[in-house]
Structure 1
Amino acid sequence: MTPPVLAATAKLRVDVFRTLEEAEPFWRALEGTAVLTPYQRYDWMAGFAAAGGECGGRFAILALSDDGGPLALLPLVLEPPRFGVTRARLIGSCISNSDWPIIAAEATNLTRHDLLHALRHASRTTGFDLLSLHNQPRSWAGIPNPMLQFHHGMAASGLYCGKIERGDGPFREHGLSRKERKNVERGMRRLEEGHGAVALRRATDPDALRCVHAAFLDQRGRRLGEMGVENVFAEDWFVRFFQNLAAHGFEEAHPALAFHALYAGNEIVATCCGAYSGTHYSMYMNSTTTGPAARVSLISILMALLMDDLLETGVRSIDMGIGDFEYKRIWTDQEPVFDSVIPLTARGYLAAPGLAIGRRAKRAIKQSPRLWTAAQNVRQWRHQSRRFMRGDG
C-alpha cells in the first residue's frame, strides 16, 4: 500500500509506491511530456525487473506532484543491507548508461530543499540510509539535472553524445570530415566486393530477432572473452530481458529496445542494440564479427547507416554510452557525467565517504593507462582461472 502523502511544501506532495504496477499510472502520465533518458522509461525498467534483473531488492518509487499533476519520479530499488547499511539506487542503474530523474519540463524549479525533504520521507518510510547515483549528465534535452544540487564528483568515464543532422552529402554528413566520409565509403565498397550487398536492417519479427540476437551473443562473447570479461549478455535473465523487450517493440517507431544488424550478403557482420526516448537514441551495445569482414571498419559502416535510419524515424540525437573508446569520438563528443552519494540517516553519513572513495578510485584507475592496463591484466587472469575451474579450457 502507498504510505500517507507528505506535504513537503505548501504545494508539493510526495508519494512512495512499492511496486511498478502501482506506480505505472503516475509514471506513464509523467513520461508523456517529461525529460528522461531511455533508461528511465517504464517499459525499460519494468522489462528489466520482469526478467529478474533486480532480484532481492525492494522498490521505493518516489513520486512528486502538485496541483497541476505529476512533476518528477525517482524509481528506486533498495539493495539488501550490507554492514547494516541499506543503499538505494535507480532501478536498472547497474546496467544503464545514465542515472536521471524523470522530470516534467516545467519542474526545473525543484530545489535542493524540496528534493531532500522528499528523500528523507522515503528513507523514513521504506528504510534506506543513502541514495547512490551514477553517471549523471549535467543536463538532458536542455534541462539542468536537479540532483546535481547535491554534492557530486566526476564519474569514471564520459558519456558520448551528439546530434543527428540532415545533410546533402553521403550518409547525410553526420558531422564527418571529408577524410572520414571517404573512409566509410571505401570500407563499404570493399565489404560489398568481398562479401555481397551491404544493408542495415532492424529486427522487427521473431525470426529476425532470433538470428540477430544469436549473432550478437556470439560476436560479443568472443570480444569479451578476449578482454577477460564474463559475457553477462549470455546469462539467462539478460537473454530474457533483451528478447522480451525487443519483441515488445516490433511495431513501434521508437521502442524501448531495438536490434539492428549490418548484413554483407547473407552474413551478419555487426549488430547493435539501442534504446529510445522521445527523439533520442542510445546505443546500448554493439558487436562486430571477427571473420574476414573485420578487415574493414565495420563499426563505422554500421554507424553511418544507423544514423541514416534514425533520421528517417525522427530521431535527432544519439549517445554511444559510457566508456572511453576512440571510435566514439568520430561520431559524438565526450560529455562529463557525475556520481553522487546522498546520506539520509546517521548510518548513511558514516557509510557515504567509503562509497565516494570507491568511485573516485575507479575513476583514477580508468583515467590512468598504466593502472587500467594492470587492471585489465588482472581481470583477464581471473577470467582464465574461472574457465579453468569450470573445465572450459
Structure 2
Amino acid sequence: MTMAAAIESRTAEAGAWSAASRIAGVDIVHDLGAAEVVWRGLETQFSTPYQRFDFLASWQREVGERNDLSPFIVIAHDAERRPLLLLPLAIGQRHGFRIASFMGGKHATFNMALWERDFAASAAATDLAGLLAALRERTVADVLALTQQPLRWRDLPNPLALLPRQPSVNDCPLLTMAPGAAPATLISNSFRRRLKGKERKLRTPGYRYHVATSDADIERMLDWFFAVKPLRMAEQKLPNVFAEAGIENFIRGACMARLAGGGRIVDIHALECDDEVIAIYAGVADGHRFSMMFNTYTMSGSSRYSPGLILMRDIIDDYAARGYRALDLGVGSDHYKRLFCKSDEPMFDCFIPLSPRGRLAASAMSGLNRAKHLVKHNQALFQVAQALRSALHR
C-alpha cells in the first residue's frame, strides 16, 4: 500500500481550531506499516508496554481483522511535522455506528496514546480540543470509545484525562515497590511462612522457578497453557476468552516477539518440576512495572498447595530485586490479587462523539459502562450478576 493510499487525508488544514493548539495537523493512517516509523519512535517516549507496535500489530493481524476492525491510527504533529502523539485505534461498525477504540481489546490491561514526552508533560485542554476538532472535520468515525486508560503512567499524568471522563468498569489491583524495600514490606513474613510451608510439599525432583527465554521453552509453556486454561475456566463456569478466533495466534506471536534491546514483549514466569508444569504467569514489563496478562495452574494434586500464590511471591521478589517500582495483576477483583495488591490503579473511560449521530451512541455507551461500574462496586448487585452468569453457563 502506498503512503498516499494509507493516509485517508493529508495534514488537516490549519483552521480556527489550531489557533490555540500546538497540534498543527492530524493524519489518519489505515495501514500499520505506514505508521511504523513514527510509532516505534514514540514507543520510547510515553506509553505503556501494551502499546508496543509488535504487540498491537499481532493483535490487529490475528484478532482485529477477523472481527472486521480496520486500523484507524491518528497521528498529530506540530507545525514542523514533528509527531506529538499517536492514537493506536481500530474502527468498526457496531449497531450501525462507526466506533473507534483502542487496539488490543480485552487482552490489553491499559490503553493509552503514545506521546512525545515533553508534549505530554505540558499538554493542555486546548491541545486536545484541537485534536478533536480535526477529527470532527473528517467525520470518519461517530464515536471515540477510549476505555481502560490509566490516570497516570509512571511520573506523568495521562493527558487524555483532560477530556470528559468517567471511572472504568473494573479496578486494577496495584502493588507499589519502593527502591530497596525490605521483602516483608512487599509480602508479610507471616504470609511468606505460610507459602513456604505449602512450597515444601511441591519440592519434587527438578522443582524450580524460572522465566522462559528460549523459543522451545516459550512454545512448551504456551502449549501447556492452552491445554489447561480451558479446563480451569470450565471449572469456574467462565467463558473461555482464549478460544475466540485469532486469540491463540495473537498471544503466541506476542510471546515469541523480541524487543530491540533484548528480551521478549511478553515474559512468561513458571514453576515446574521434572514431572509437570505447575503454574505460569505471563505479562509485559518495561523496566518500571510488570503487568500481568494471563495465568493458570495445574489440574493435578499439586494445585492444593497454592502454586499460583507461590509463583506470585517469586515474581514480586524477582522484580523488586531488579529495581522495579510497581506490579499489577490485571483488571478484576479476584481474591488472590488482594493478597498482594492493597491499592488500585485509577482508570478511566472517555466516550467522545465525533458526529451528530454519534452523540446518541456515546451517551448509550457511557450509560452502559456506568451501570457496569455500579454493579462491580456494589456487593449485593455483584453477587446477583455472578449467580446469573453461573446459571447461564451451566
* TM-score of the superposed pair, with normalisation by structure 1: 0.88
CA distance in 2, matches of 1:23, 1:180: 48
Aligned-partner SS, 1:80 = strand
Structure 1 position 374 matched with structure 2 position 380: no
Cα distance between partner residues in 2 of 1:137 and 1:251: 25
The alpha-carbon distance between structure 1 residues 95 and 245, as it changes in their structure 2 partners (threshold 3 A), is closer
Aligned to 1:119: 132
307-316 or 138-147: which moved more? Answer: 307-316
* 1:310 and 2:316 aligned: no
Give the SS at the match of 1:135: strand
Q: Which residue of 1 aligns with 2:59?
A: 48
Aligned twin of 1:18: 30
Cα distance in 1 between the residues matched to 2:115 and 2:105:
17
- 1:57-206 correspondence to structure 2 within 5 Å: 57-66=69-78, 67=80, 69-83=82-96, 85-107=97-119, 108-125=121-138, 127-164=140-177, 167=180, 172-173=183-184, 175-192=186-203, 195-206=204-215
Q: Cα distance 1:253–1:315, how it changes in 2: closer, same or farther (>3 A)?
A: farther
**Percentage of matched positions with identical amino acids:** 28
2:308 counterpart (284, 296, 299): 299
| Residue 282 (structure 2) pairs with residue 276 (structure 1) | no
Distance 1:295 1:61 in 2: 47
Structure 2 CA distance for partners of 1:64 and 1:41, relative to 1, 3 Å: same
Would the aligned equivalents of 2:179 and 2:323 in 1 still touch at CA under 8 Å?
no
In 1, the alpha carbon distance for the partners of 2:284 and 2:82 equals: 27
SS in 1 for 2:231: helix
| 1:347 aligned to which of 357, 361, 380 | 357
User: Structure 2 vs 1, CA of residues 283 and 94 (structure 1 numbering), >3 Å: closer, same or farther?
Assistant: closer
Whole-Å separation in 2 of the counterparts to 1:123 and 1:288: 48
Partner of 1:219: 228
How many Å apart are 1:255 and its aligned residue?
A: 2.5
Aligned residue type for 1:224: M
With over 3 angstroms needed to count, the CA separation of the structure-2 counterparts of 1:50 and 1:278, relative to structure 1, is farther
Structure 2: state its 5+ residue gaps.
Answer: none
For residue 354 of structure 2, what is the amino acid of its counterpart? L
**Total equivalences in the alignment:** 378
- Give the direction of change, closer, same or farther, for the CA distance of 1:206–1:143 in structure 2 (3 Å limit): same
Listed as ranges, the matches of 1:205-284 within 5 Å are: 205-249=214-258, 253-284=262-293
For residues 36 and 362 of structure 1, the distance between their equivalents in structure 2, rounded to whole angstroms, comes to 27
Residues 286-343 of structure 1 deviation map (CA, whole Å, 9 limit, x = unaligned): 1112321122222221112223433566644322111112222232222231122111
> Is the Cα contact below 8 Å between 1:200 and 1:262 reproduced in 2?
yes
> What secondary structure, in the 3-state scheme, does the structure 2 residue paired with 1:63 have?
strand
- What root-mean-square deviation, in Å, do the aligned CA atoms of Structure 1 and Structure 2 show? 2.4
